[in-house]
Chain A
């Protein structure tokens, strides 16, 4: 099947799945024990005010009508209004998303680069102290809760060593002396593209610990996956053939085996994006960063239903999209994969 037809089929499937996602989200929010109308109207509202709130929120219509309205609004860009901030949810989401994307992207980059390198290295030098040490680190990395790691890093680098900041996205003084023109909301990114290097430096400094924390788990996962995929590849007959042809060990490991190992590694990396997205909830909370995670947590705790629905749908959308890209990359890497 050609790439174009595959894409069309996948997108169609995606749309179907996303529909399902909206249905699930919609139903989920309707199972609410607390009355959203009452929340909207406020704690001291009178019964008529609550009734009015119900009418405003459209909650007096039948369920399928509500869904219909919901879905048609959704595709037109109206994702509801936040009960808390009173702003359109989509606006809220788009305001906070870039900062988190920057965080997720950097963490993913670090995880893949470090993970694949370590995994390949330990497969090559199997059994040595590098291998054993890395295995210990990797399994530690996947066992450590991100919020605990964040705290430990804060204590180490801030309290004891005093070299890194632990809250906010940028140093307050610098944000005043070198204010950043906000373009996307991703602090470091904006500073970079506007040439504001002082601010960029500070923003990056504030990203070091969060990225370290967020990347720890996925680096561990990717390292382990790369190592086992490499070992499996190295056990295959074509590796024996290459060896029989006199191909040196380094080339065998780094070229012949690695390319075969990439497919499962990339699949895992795609799944890790989900973990990273959710991880921002914890990391942003502890490091007080202005991202989607903070927004999401606050919305969930304050029962801001439109916001909760918006976040859920957005995350699912993002995740499904990323997996499509991963599948395409894998198809490019492994010619045996028949796009179907």
Chain B
């Protein structure tokens, strides 16, 4: 054992760097490979752009109150012009402003959903996979039941019954996704608990709880992160879809799916009301999918293109 240990900040950082050296350089290598994928980089740029729009909407949007929902009946159905780049909708509201404000909800719900499954998945899945037995069986049966409902049905029923609102929408989508992530982490935990180093830890008397938090969970996080990135695109489609059907947020909230449905009846004459929000949905989902693909190529080079 070496002599004195350095406790000043540089020393601690240096020690941390040493301990995580191989992990860090691998991460840096992965980052470099990832950045080589031009599409993925574009995807990240777009997501960041949307974030900026969402956060800065009151300042960026040309007509912020219309963006939030205030009607402007004197200028209904105006085609795209220099005054209204994306035209106005059936209530005269500036479509561009509404599209900008509409970026908030998908990003917010994505964050909520990602955060929730990152908590629920590892907890339930980790416990089920590691301890096995009755706990595992019970949790697995419950996920089976939830997975028996085709994707959105449960979410739709949930929102239909409890009433459309932002919270219910987010909750409904979390309900749809939690079983997948629980299963994912459980599978990881099952294979990890059989690894030699876990056996070794157990023989040395390390408590189960510590094993789960120290050894199992950190290793399970990797695939979960990749899965979330790949799934965020689908989450956004679900949010837009539910709102489109009227089972999401309520008017006059600016939300892309809702905007598309508000413009459907006029689509053959005033196409801009539905098309611009529709393209916005497409581009954001595309961005997330492209990022997810890039991530997967980096972390699973077997499947390299």
Contact = CB atoms under 8 A, between A and B. Distances in A.
Would A and B touch once assembled, by the CB under 8 A criterion?
yes
Interface of A: 13, 16-18, 20-21, 23-25, 28-29, 31-34, 126, 135, 139-140, 142-148, 151-152, 154-155, 158-159, 228, 231-232, 235, 273-275, 277-278, 281-282, 285-286, 296-297, 300-301, 303, 305, 308, 311-312, 315-316, 318-320
B27 interface: no
A300 B233 contact: no
Contacts of A32: 161-162
Interface string B153-183: 1101110111100000000000000000000
Contacts of B50: none
11 contacts: A17-B141, A142-B233, A152-B278, A154-B268, A155-B268, A278-B152, A286-B264, A300-B247, A311-B153, A312-B149, A312-B157
A155 B241 contact: no
B148 A320 contact: yes
Contact of A278 (B142, B153, B302): B153
A274 B278 CA distance: 23
A23 B275 CA distance: 41
B217 interface: no
Contacts of A305: 161
B245 interface: yes
B63 interface: no
> How would you classify the secondary structure of chain A's contact residues: helix, strand, loop or mixed?
helix
B200 interface: no
A20 B144 CA distance: 9
Nearest to B144: A17
Given A155-B275, A316-B149, 13 more contacts: A24-B149, A28-B158, A139-B293, A144-B285, A145-B241, A145-B282, A148-B260, A235-B302, A277-B153, A278-B151, A282-B245, A318-B150, A319-B149
A330 B290 CA distance: 30
A143 B286 contact: yes
Contacts of B286: 139-140, 143
B188 interface: no
